[in-house]
Amino acid sequence: MKIRSEFTRRGSSPVHLSLRPWRVPGLACFAAAIALMASHAVAQTPAAAARELPAKTVPVPDTVSPQMQKQIAAPLTSTWNVIPTTAEGWKEQVNAGYQAAMKALPALRETLGVKVEPMTIDGVKAYRVTPAAIPRENRNRLLVHVHGGCFVSFPGESGTVEAVYMAGFGGFKVISVDYRMPPDHPYPAGLDDAMTVWKAATKMAPPKNMAIFGSSAGGNLTLAMVLRAKQEKLPLPAAIAPGTPMSDLTGAGDSFHTNAMLDNVLVAYGANCDKRAALYTNGRDLRDPMLSPVYGDMRGFPPAILTTGTRDLLLSNTVRVHRKLREAGVEAVLQVFEGQSHAQYYRDVGAPETKEAFTEIARFFDKHLGK
């Protein structure tokens, strides 16, 4: 009796048996039974199931600074589930955030020794952010900043907060773009404004001496600017720093589930921030790489440093961009801070984690920017 059997390796198709039933009459039934059992096993394989977790209390970690503990222990953002139903309602909510930021900015500028001056670049409003002392190696360098705020918040000077941190801790000259925003100006107005400033900025300094950075919606725009510059065959910056980027507006990503209600800034997917983003996207395809850059072609991107935290709702958005860059052969660094929710690395100038975050970004820029 001759029986030839071929067994596949683990992870491939079900086992197949190659038999010669005409040589051994009883084997035809045996083969049929084996085939039936194999197909039944495949049919019974359960689909990937969601995991149910017991209700639990998550303590404030004692592995971060007291300043960061205070941020982590703070209650959920008061407007996280307050969704205006009119354009005027949105503008009122945005104005409240604007007033709060403007109230805090003078002390922040004084602490970091930074000056902020309004300017207009080819019709686009912007701010020149300059540190009191510029290291020699940074004198011919220039950064372009695109602020966060879920594409809607922090208009005018209120959007310069992160730029002030970068200028103060990094010693760089910065242009912060005051791009147009919804509800009056949906996509592509904001990205168009950012690109207008980028084109003009490349005439102010060599692109090899420049970087683009921004967090949240600003992280999205940082990535989209590079995609657009590639598309239009414009000079690329020498490096980028997209912080906790809103890189996928479709809601895909593990941390939208694992960090929901744990992130005390964004809180949950589909809440206030995503409603603001919807004003920006204005019914367009959310998988458009200019809206969700994680779906774009990142080959040829400049070196990138990305920043997030373990409680960040956009942890997965950040991780997925990092992996996409690495898969494209791009040098990319991912810094993840203990316990932090969305963009909490620039909420408290006195927190050591804040200085650490911007110092890391500055070192990365120093490594990649020309002098």
Assign 46 a pLDDT band (cuts: 50, 70, 90).
low
Residue with tokens 């084996």: 34
Rounded distance, CA 127 to CA 129, Å?
6
The Cα 256–Cα 270 span in angstroms is 10
pLDDT at 49: 87
pLDDT at 33: 47
Q: What pLDDT is attached to residue 12?
A: 38
At the topology level, CATH places domain 66-368 in Rossmann fold (3.40.50)
Cβ-proximal residues to 43 (8 Å cutoff; 6+ apart), any chain: none
Mean pLDDT of the 361-366 span: 98
Average pLDDT over residues 59-66: 98
Instruction: Answer yes or no: are the C-beta atoms of 307 and 240 closer than 8 Å.
Output: no
- Comparing CA positions, the residue from 203, 176, 198 lying closest to residue 119 is 176
Domain ranges of the chain: 4-44, 66-368
List, for residues 219-259, the tens digit of each pLDDT value: 999 999 999 999 999 999 999 999 999 999 999 999 999 99
Structural contact between residues 198 and 234, judged by C-beta atoms closer than 8 angstroms: yes
pLDDT (tens digit per residue) in 295-344: 999 999 999 999 999 999 999 999 999 999 999 999 999 999 999 999 99
What DSSP string describes 305-336?
EEEEETT-TTHHHHHHHHHHHHHTT--EEEEE
What are 112-132's pLDDT values in tens digits?
999 999 999 999 999 999 999
Residue 145 β-bridge partners: 176, 213
CA atoms within 13 A on the CB side of 106: 4
Amino acid at 34: I
pTM: 0.88
- Sign of torsion, CA 171 175 180 186? negative
